[in-house]
Structure 1
């Protein structure tokens, strides 16, 4: 699964869709050689959500919901057919490329897109072998033509015909439409981002790191901007900005900027978030101009000081009673006054 996810991340262009568009993708990996993994593994993605998983050991496609496997999908023939093709392609490539690896890896991404008003997109297939990019195929349904960027002569892609891919395209679109109907609550949902602007003092300098963090949003299309005095900070000054998945089918993004103490005093930092779930831009500012760690220490120190003072008062009372033999009434009065003083200390600490 880790290999599959790395392969998935290496093809971000396939998941770049316009608003209102949808896609179905099958990411497969074929392993030839002695490994502890299944020979073939495949994940099925509807847009950017994993809806199924297949491996050649179990030889069945299992639905993947938010809470794990739920049911078997009627798609076994798809990865089985794809596995046969990949097996033949891998054997051919090992022979013509004369690779001496003990383990060979063939990766394949295959998918189609459906735009607004059922406007159909292209059918795309791309291969990679032992970490090197290989053949790419595009099937245009409107023109009924196949365009291929061939790297390996003699492979299936280089001799393909439109007739073959009419079937592949029709099958992909049929799966996409069926999956959209079944999973519409997952892929059409809109989750609002939780956005915070954080400030953390850097231990090795007098400056700080200002971080804009957004998490819990869906879909993935998201714009996060860090601003200085209302102007966007240039990208080369910012670290982060990658879109990262959470474990609940939502996403997160953070952008950070290191600034000096002087910059903190003379500039105002904010961040802005734009997302489909928001009616307007979401502007976030720093709530405080000091570190949360420092802020939490102040009341604790004052509380400890108050306790020490109160203990000193009680010791003084006991010493006075021993020396003068004063009655309990006077002692009670002194204790009451000491308690009032301690309460005042606590109140001052909380306000600070």
Structure 2
């Protein structure tokens, strides 16, 4: 059985191409991405994905014979008549495409035709467009204003026919034009809150070791972000790199986006590379220079859980655990041999000052509020990051689901959310940088980060490529039948994984779990519940810095488990490896 899914790759490719990386949204748009299968029996005759700006709102294929809403506000806000009219769009595409293009496609050995129909709004001006592509053989682009179409490549064979036709006079085209604008207006009104949300990205730069076929490179990973319009580029010694690196943009499972920029390094490369990111959610540009690293201490303060130590702490250097402490054993334990060998007795004495400082700092200031609110534990993290020669230190404390306290060591001030806003008056009177324990945490964290990076360079820069397996989980007394996508082992931890259902991204309704393995790699599981007699095609899609392309593993509702395999042929388009020119 094949380990790739043609439907998944083609529809996912179409969906991924809805915006071009780096472009800026000038207007709103409603776009229908469609795929017409000519002689691929395993694919529906017509498949269609509807996108309102950067959100998927509906799906159709000729097997299910209905348009499915993908947002609750679309489902609630559109009437039965609206849905009847929505179905006219794939019906019109189905009626329009085969008579005019299939003979040429068959003659040229084309197995599928894909394209898009859509409309845009800028102020009070609306424009409608139609674009059809036949694999790599050319495109047909139609202008609804003039009623004429132009072609490129082999599709120029149909030019004589097209010059005799005014597409605006074709009833199906006229219907597509009017209904698209109608649904765009309605969708913008219904979905305003979700369409206008802003999700700010985080940026991480990783070094990728050379392989037998590729040289050493840097990978800039930007995620999560929304809307999709983003400007990201590499700078080399402060100058924009205009070509020679690869850009990948993929949707995340939670209606945000993931982006990777990979630039290959020269032998003994001493240039300074900076990943420069601008997004509408950010007050200014994010700039991450060279490889970014972090040392983070995750801690748990048990207030009234007797079976847990009073203070527990785990130290992580990038994605590797390097030490552990709890108040029962009263010592910091090294978790890597090179940490044990490379740190002196004095270093370990200083390391113990970190949990001691947390223990001294937390209870007097937070425990009274926690007891009052019935909070059983407080957790958080203290850490520092390095980007080139710039270091930043941070502190974050969370009280279950009641709020967070986030401190900036540069300004010496903290902000709070939720119930923790009760301590705001106290915080405004305090400069945390003046607290001896905080000052000690700041300086020691940076010191240990530098030393750890020097000692652990080889292990920190390794790449472990994941394998992917899709398994069916039988129903239980409390849960229905489901599919489980297991991704393991992989390192580093940064990864993009999502479910596709009949080729479209499933943006919600499944569980994601990431856990460390015993061997310093990671394990990830995505579980999606199946409906009764579910015949949909589910595909687990995985992108990781260790892989030359995406992994795509299919599991059918009524089928059996699948093993992993790299994408071949058409699957290569899925990764959207767009060369910057």
Structure 1 equivalent of residue 138 of structure 2: 133
TM-score by length of 1: 0.67
Structure 2 equivalent of residue 179 of structure 1: 187
1:111 aligns with 2:118: yes
Please tell me whether the aligned partners of residues 247 and 259 of structure 2 are also in contact (alpha carbons under 8 angstroms): yes
Structure 2 equivalent of residue 211 of structure 1: 219
What secondary structure does 1:174 align onto? helix
Please tell me whether the aligned partners of residues 198 and 212 of structure 1 are also in contact (alpha carbons under 8 angstroms): yes
Structure 1 equivalent of residue 44 of structure 2: 38
Please tell me whether the aligned partners of residues 24 and 229 of structure 2 are also in contact (alpha carbons under 8 angstroms): no
Structure 2 equivalent of residue 26 of structure 1: 32
Please tell me whether the aligned partners of residues 222 and 273 of structure 1 are also in contact (alpha carbons under 8 angstroms): yes
In 2 relative to 1, CA 57–127 (structure 1 residues): closer, same or farther, beyond 3 Å?
same
1:346 aligns with 2:354: no
Aligned-residue offset at 1:146: 1.9
Structure 1 residues 268-279: aligned runs within 5 Å: 268-279=272-283
Q: Distance in 2 between matches of 1:70 and 1:155?
A: 38
Please tell me whether the aligned partners of residues 46 and 176 of structure 1 are also in contact (alpha carbons under 8 angstroms): yes
Please tell me whether the aligned partners of residues 303 and 349 of structure 1 are also in contact (alpha carbons under 8 angstroms): no
Aligned-residue offset at 1:156: 11
1:222 aligns with 2:223: no
Q: Distance in 2 between matches of 1:277 and 1:148?
A: 38
In 2 relative to 1, CA 247–85 (structure 1 residues): closer, same or farther, beyond 3 Å?
closer
Aligned-residue offset at 1:63: 1.0
Structure 2 unaligned regions, length at least 5: 1-6, 296-316, 324-333, 353-447, 452-581
Structure 1 residues 54-203: aligned runs within 5 Å: 54-65=60-71, 74-80=82-88, 82-84=90-92, 86-87=94-95, 89-95=97-103, 99=107, 104-115=111-122, 117-120=123-126, 122-129=127-134, 132-140=137-145, 145-149=146-150, 151=156, 152=158, 153-154=160-161, 158-161=165-168, 164=171, 167-199=175-207
Q: Distance in 2 between matches of 1:10 and 1:210?
A: 24
Which structure has the larger Rg?
A: 1
Please tell me whether the aligned partners of residues 52 and 61 of structure 1 are also in contact (alpha carbons under 8 angstroms): yes
In 2 relative to 1, CA 11–276 (structure 1 residues): closer, same or farther, beyond 3 Å?
closer
Deviates more, 1:171-180 or 1:283-292: 283-292
Please tell me whether the aligned partners of residues 60 and 72 of structure 1 are also in contact (alpha carbons under 8 angstroms): no
In 2 relative to 1, CA 258–184 (structure 1 residues): closer, same or farther, beyond 3 Å?
same
In 2 relative to 1, CA 107–296 (structure 1 residues): closer, same or farther, beyond 3 Å?
same
Aligned-residue offset at 1:176: 0.3
Q: Distance in 1 between matches of 2:247 and 2:135?
A: 30
Q: Number of residue pairs matched?
A: 301
Q: Which has the higher contact order (CA 8 A, sep 6+)?
A: 2
Structure 1 unaligned regions, length at least 5: 307-341
In 2 relative to 1, CA 92–211 (structure 1 residues): closer, same or farther, beyond 3 Å?
closer
Alignment equivalent of 1:301, drawn from 337, 348, 366: 337
Structure 2 equivalent of residue 315 of structure 1: none
In 2 relative to 1, CA 52–294 (structure 1 residues): closer, same or farther, beyond 3 Å?
closer
Q: Distance in 2 between matches of 1:77 and 1:300?
A: 63
In 2 relative to 1, CA 72–131 (structure 1 residues): closer, same or farther, beyond 3 Å?
farther
TM-score by length of 2: 0.43
Structure 1 residues 306-321: aligned runs within 5 Å: none
Q: Distance in 1 between matches of 2:192 and 2:141?
A: 30
User: Residues 253-283 of structure 1: CA distance to partner in whole angstroms, max 9, x if unpaired?
Assistant: 233445579655xx55443321111122223
Higher helix fraction: Structure 1 or Structure 2? Answer: 1
In 2 relative to 1, CA 78–99 (structure 1 residues): closer, same or farther, beyond 3 Å?
farther
User: Residues 199-220 of structure 1: CA distance to partner in whole angstroms, max 9, x if unpaired?
Assistant: 466589xx96443321111112
1:284 aligns with 2:284: no
1:232 aligns with 2:239: yes
Q: Distance in 2 between matches of 1:57 and 1:127?
A: 22
User: Residues 129-169 of structure 1: CA distance to partner in whole angstroms, max 9, x if unpaired?
Assistant: 576435321112xxxx3232264254699343458555543
Please tell me whether the aligned partners of residues 228 and 270 of structure 1 are also in contact (alpha carbons under 8 angstroms): yes
Please tell me whether the aligned partners of residues 227 and 271 of structure 1 are also in contact (alpha carbons under 8 angstroms): yes
Alignment equivalent of 1:241, drawn from 244, 247, 255: 247
Please tell me whether the aligned partners of residues 24 and 230 of structure 2 are also in contact (alpha carbons under 8 angstroms): no
Q: Distance in 2 between matches of 1:302 and 1:18?
A: 47
Structure 2 equivalent of residue 332 of structure 1: none
1:4 aligns with 2:11: yes
